[in-house]
Amino acid sequence: MQTILTESPETAAGFLNRGEVVAFPTETVYGLGAAICHPEAVKKIFLAKGRPSDNPLIVHIRGKEDLPSVAGEISGFARKLIDRFFPGPLTLVFRKNPDVPDSVTAGLDTVGVRCPSHPVAQEFLRLACCPVAAPSANISGLPSATSWETVHRDLDGRISCILKGGPSDIGLESTIVDCSGQLPLLLRAGAITLEQLREVVPETRLAAPPDKKEPPKSPGLKYPHYAPSAAIVPCAPEESVPAVPCSAYIGIGEAPPGVEKAKLCRDLREYARELFSFFRQCDDQNIRVIYCELPENHGLGRAIRDRILRAAGSYQC
Ligand code: AMP
Ligand code: MG
């Protein structure tokens, strides 16, 4: 299959509306979209990524006006979160509208919904014939793609079109909050922080760590994620680490002596933006070990920590 690269939302939406799969930029990471009114296109997403079919997709909408077409009842606290954070890097999970195909939600009776704020994504969604199901635009298990070039490397020849935009501003996937119960439950940390959520709904809770007896609330989180080929080794700020050949470091503090490659970030925002792209660069340069400074479990630090620990093979939220 030929993969068309374009900067035109019209061209990209043309492919989408004909039942093809299209990668598009968002403020979090690049998405791999299919129109939910084309269930056969939704199946192509799973094929292109090698994604397990029990891992549900997030549905992307143009604005609040599209919510009734995908979600069932919306509670009072969910309305407050929508009013404060849509459009933006927040996915809310609701009971689903029966019109949403099971292939999108992996058979769950809930659906994750997001309204991205990226202007190119907004234009693309406005031109789409219906809401757009989209996971991150990368081969399953690899770090999410934060640039069109990375999407191209992973998915060239597997999808019809890539809508080019600049690098993703946030660089980490959306915050996911389950709004299908009595109170909001944080399922995945992201750029909308727990503290910000609690400013709007103080009762917002963290999801409990996964329990082998119970099915996970967010099925995707049970799979290995965000993992480059290099080993990820979390480290404390200023911790002295063994000098090994072909090692690299990313963090805010000083790099340990002896690493071959280092990315020193000014702040957490830059750290989040650069993390996945750094993982990919390290793989290109045959780095074997990446030391990652673990930020405190607070604010945006919680999301960065979560991705580092998952990439290292340990669970977090
Ligand atoms: P990705 O877009 O690649 O980050 O993957 C989407 C993430 O959203 C996965 O971790 C899914 O488990 C999660 N997700 C999507 N729909 C739901 C849902 N209905 N309930 C809980 N988590 C969901
Ligand atoms: Mg993903």
pLDDT digit string (tens) for 203-223? Answer: 999 998 766 566 667 666 666
Q: How far is the CA of 26 from the centre of ligand 1 (A)?
A: 16
22-75 per-position pLDDT tens digit: 999 999 999 999 999 999 999 999 999 999 989 999 999 999 999 999 999 999
**156 & 279 share domain:** no
**114 & 235 share domain:** no
| Number of other residues whose CB lies within 10 A of the CB of residue 303 | 31
Q: What average pLDDT does the chain have?
A: 94
Distance linking the first and last C-alpha atoms of the chain: 38
Atom of ligand 1 nearest to the CA of 223: 10
Domain ends where: 147, 172, 206?
206
CB distance 297 to ligand 1 below 6 Å: no
Domain annotation covers residue 213? no
SS3 317: coil
Distance CA 210, CA 222 (A): 8
| Number of other residues whose CB lies within 10 A of the CB of residue 6 | 15
**26 & 106 share domain:** yes
State yes or no: pLDDT of 317 exceeds 80.
no
pLDDT of residue 310: 92
Domain ends where: 206, 221, 248?
206
Task: Report the CATH number at residue 269.
Answer: 3.40.50
Domain annotation covers residue 220? no
Q: pTM value? A: 0.95
Domain annotation covers residue 226? no
**201 & 240 share domain:** no
260-287 per-position pLDDT tens digit: 999 999 999 999 999 999 999 999 999 9
Number of domains in the chain: 2
Domain annotation covers residue 81? yes
- Whole-number percent of the chain with pLDDT over 70: 94
Q: How far is the CA of 56 from the centre of ligand 1 (A)?
A: 5
**60 & 99 share domain:** yes
Q: To which residue do tokens 């299959």 refer?
A: 1
User: Containing domain of residue 289, as a range?
Assistant: 231-312
pLDDT of residue 240: 82
Distance CA 110, CA 93 (A): 6
- Alpha helix (H) ranges present in 189-296? 194-200, 268-284
CB distance 220 to ligand 1 below 6 Å: yes
Domain annotation covers residue 155? yes
| Cα angle for residues 138, 97, 224 (degrees, 5° grid) | 25
**159 & 304 share domain:** no
Domain annotation covers residue 136? yes
Cα dist. 130→106, 234, 247 in Å?
19, 42, 46
Nearest CA residue ID for atom 2, ligand 1: 135
**Residue 182 is encoded by which pair of tokens?**
């009595």
Q: How far is the CA of 270 from the centre of ligand 1 (A)?
A: 25
Nearest CA residue ID for atom 17, ligand 1: 112
**260 & 151 share domain:** no
CB distance 135 to ligand 1 below 6 Å: yes
**279 & 141 share domain:** no
Domain annotation covers residue 276? yes
Domain ends where: 206, 241, 256?
206
**105 & 198 share domain:** yes
State yes or no: pLDDT of 131 exceeds 70.
yes
**246 & 202 share domain:** no
Contact 313, 271 (CB under 8 A): no
Per-residue confidence at 239, pLDDT binned at 50, 70, 90? confident
10-34 per-position pLDDT tens digit: 999 999 999 999 999 999 999 999 9
CB distance 113 to ligand 1 below 6 Å: no
pLDDT of residue 225: 66
**116 & 76 share domain:** yes
**245 & 104 share domain:** no
pLDDT of residue 224: 60
Cα dist. 42→53, 57, 104 in Å?
11, 9, 7
Residue 312 burial by Cβ neighbours in a 10 Å radius (0-12, 13-18, 19+): middle
Nearest CA residue ID for atom 21, ligand 1: 218
